[in-house]
């Protein structure tokens, strides 16, 4: 292939990637920060994901969901590299958490897909961020992708390479953990009334 053709194809690749991939940088960084809990690591994770995505841009199916594709790359890097460097996952016993602990309490916040989304849409301060960060990795990743980034169950399953049932199970358990952690926050900030008083 002549140099001019190769240079032209590189320019086309770069322009396509800039147009389709780069608009998702903020969402990638936001999620990377929640995954890694550290600004420097989040920046490194996004940079590594963008470099890898650009290198493999020819494997991206045009017309498909670029955002989901980029999140899959970043999530795989996080699971394979960053997570293996961190401490072992925390063991959590979620069997004693009532399914409706906070769910029912937040039902009067207004029409929304889930109570979590209603709460996150109204406020996202340090208490909420901390509650999400304290979730074990397996739950935190699916919670972030669902509640905060709005991916469907199937998109999450594709992104994290899990069966659909596993995604639903992790979201259910993650939701139970968040409900317990955010109950006191919601009472303290007047979103719900503590019925025990």
Residue in this structure with the two tokens 């994770």, named with its chain if needed: 45
Tokens at 138, concatenated: 């397996």
Given the candidates 2.70.98.10, 1.10.287.620, 1.10.10.10, 1.10.3720.10, the CATH classification of the domain at 104-188 is: 1.10.10.10
Q: Quick one: how far is CA 91 from the chain centroid?
A: 21
**How far apart (Å, rounded) are the C-alpha atoms in residues 168 and 155?**
12
Architecture category of domain 3-85 in CATH:
Orthogonal Bundle (1.10)
Q: What is the pLDDT of residue 81?
A: 79
pLDDT of residue 30 exceeding 80, the answer is: yes
Sequence ranges of the domains in the chain: 3-85, 104-188
DSSP 91: P
pLDDT tens digit sequence for 37-85? 889 999 999 999 999 999 999 899 888 999 999 999 999 999 887 656 6
Q: How sure is the predictor about 11, in pLDDT bands with cuts at 50, 70 and 90?
A: confident
């Amino acid at each position: 292939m002549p140099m001019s053709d190769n240079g032209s194809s590189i320019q086309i690749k770069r322009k396509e990637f800039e147009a389709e991939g780069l608009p998702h940088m903020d969402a990638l960084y936001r999620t990377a920060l929640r995954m890694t809990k550290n600004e420097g690591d989040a920046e490194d994770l996004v940079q590594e994901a963008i470099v890898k995505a650009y290198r493999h841009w020819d494997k991206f199916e045009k017309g498909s969901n670029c955002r989901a594709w980029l999140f899959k790359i970043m999530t795989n890097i996080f699971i394979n590299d960053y997570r293996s460097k961190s401490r072992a996952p925390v063991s959590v016993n979620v069997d004693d958490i009532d399914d409706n602990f906070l769910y029912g309490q937040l039902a009067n916040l207004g029409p929304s897909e889930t109570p979590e989304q209603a709460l996150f849409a109204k406020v996202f301060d340090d208490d909420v961020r901390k509650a999400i960060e304290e979730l074990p990795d397996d739950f935190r990743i699916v919670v972030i992708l669902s509640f905060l980034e709005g991916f469907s169950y199937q998109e999450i399953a594709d992104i994290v390479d899990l069966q659909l049932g596993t995604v639903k199970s992790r979201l259910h358990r993650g939701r139970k953990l968040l409900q317990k952690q955010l109950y006191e926050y919601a009472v303290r900030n007047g979103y719900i009334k503590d019925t025990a008083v």
